[in-house]
Amino acid sequence: MNMIYEPQTVKASERNQPLVSAIMAVRNEERHIETAIRSLQQQETSGWEIEIIVVDGNSSDGTEEIVKQIASSDSRVKLAINKQSKTPYAFNLGIQRARGEYICILGAHTVYAQDYIVTCLEELKLHGAAGCSGRLITRPGGDGLQARLVAWTLAHPFGTSARSMRTRGAGFADTIPYPIFLKSTLLEVGVYNTQLHRNQDNDLSQRLRARGHKLYITDKTSCEYFVSPDLASLASYAFKNGFWNIISFKMNPASMSLRHFVPGAFVVVLLLSLLMLFYSIMAHTQSWVLAPILLLGAIYGVISIGVSCHIAFRERSIGALLMPITFLLLHVFYGAGTLSAVMSNAHSPST
């Protein structure tokens, strides 16, 4: 794990107001980057100041040019280049460049409420937490039905669990989305593990909690995250997450919980049930062997159809009735990623 040391931090006592360093890791985000930065430029900064450090991972589109153009008219915006092009390197580089006492770890697919940072800062102090974030509201990344299906699927507990950062409400949490931290606390635990290309936030959160620090989600502010716009992107996202869960577990078992491996267990049971079905057909055995797959299908189907009907009624969209397909897509590809990592004895490319 890369270790970095604290650069020159400008303390509140040395300036008129506290400084918050907002770090945004980006790569090929020309579609979203301007909107995300504008939402940070418009933050309510009464009683504090902000610097915005955009760390670009060698984008091949117009992301870098857009950031430079914005920075040319706003000295608060700064651009750094992440030659490794991986997220944890970007965060660590941003922390290294940051001059503030507080660090915000942010993303480009997101628009932040005007009071996002100031509210998280206040709530962090109020609850004695090491990190605080607002609620994450999942939005479609496009105008089509596929984009809406992806957003509805990821925003529901049946899709991502009731303890997911996308679905849970206010309170202390194991991990938090788009948090603000006291910089000294991040440095204390060794910042982000660069061997984890995914789940680096889970790993950092666990190390913070192991040191006795608390993480808090407040419902007094929020941010809107725009998810992938199509089902192919959802499948790819799910497979990669499932795959990296095994690598993350090997590197830091305490950073992963049981819910991360439920889709993998689901796919195993599904495969075993299908094998039993095939065997019963070939061997002309009793129909009772079909019971497991029928029971699994019935339970899963009833839940997914029930959720889909509820969302179709809530959103007044008949298209939501297709959500059983997207739920199954998410869970099967997530579980397949987990099984693929187990079977290949996957390790981080950095090890």
Give tens-digit pLDDT for 177-198: 999 999 999 999 989 999 999 9
168 with 285, same domain: the answer is no
Are residues 343 and 184 in contact, defined by beta-carbon separation less than 8 angstroms? no
Q: Name the residue with tokens 């206040």.
A: 122
pLDDT of residue 19: 92
pLDDT of residue 73: 94
Are residues 238 and 333 in contact, defined by beta-carbon separation less than 8 angstroms? yes
174 with 278, same domain: the answer is no
Task: Identify the weakest region by mean pLDDT among 28-42, 92-106, 239-253, 279-293.
Answer: 279-293
Mean pLDDT of 317-321: 95
220 with 274, same domain: the answer is no
Task: For 4-23, give one letter per residue: b (16+ CB within 10 A) or e.
Answer: eeeeeebeeeeeeebbbbbb
- The amino acid at 318: I
How does pLDDT run across 258-288, given as a tens digit for each residue?
A: 999 999 999 998 888 777 777 777 776 666 6
Are residues 223 and 134 in contact, defined by beta-carbon separation less than 8 angstroms? yes
107 with 67, same domain: the answer is yes
pLDDT band at 1 (very low <50, low <70, confident <90, very high): very low
Q: Considering the domain boundaries, does residue 215 fall inside one? A: yes
149 with 279, same domain: the answer is no
Q: Considering the domain boundaries, does residue 249 fall inside one? A: no
Give the residue numbers spanning the domain of 167.
12-229
270 with 136, same domain: the answer is no
Q: What's the start-to-end Cα distance of the chain, in Å?
A: 10
CATH of the domain at 116: 3.90.550.10
90 with 185, same domain: the answer is yes
266 with 210, same domain: the answer is no
Q: Considering the domain boundaries, does residue 253 fall inside one? A: no
Q: Considering the domain boundaries, does residue 281 fall inside one? A: yes
pLDDT of residue 69: 94
* Percentage of the residues of the chain whose pLDDT score is greater than 70: 92
Mean pLDDT of 78-102: 93
How does pLDDT run across 107-147, given as a tens digit for each residue?
A: 999 999 999 999 999 999 999 999 999 999 999 988 899 99
pLDDT of residue 5: 41
Please count the structural domains in the chain.
Answer: 2
193 with 294, same domain: the answer is no
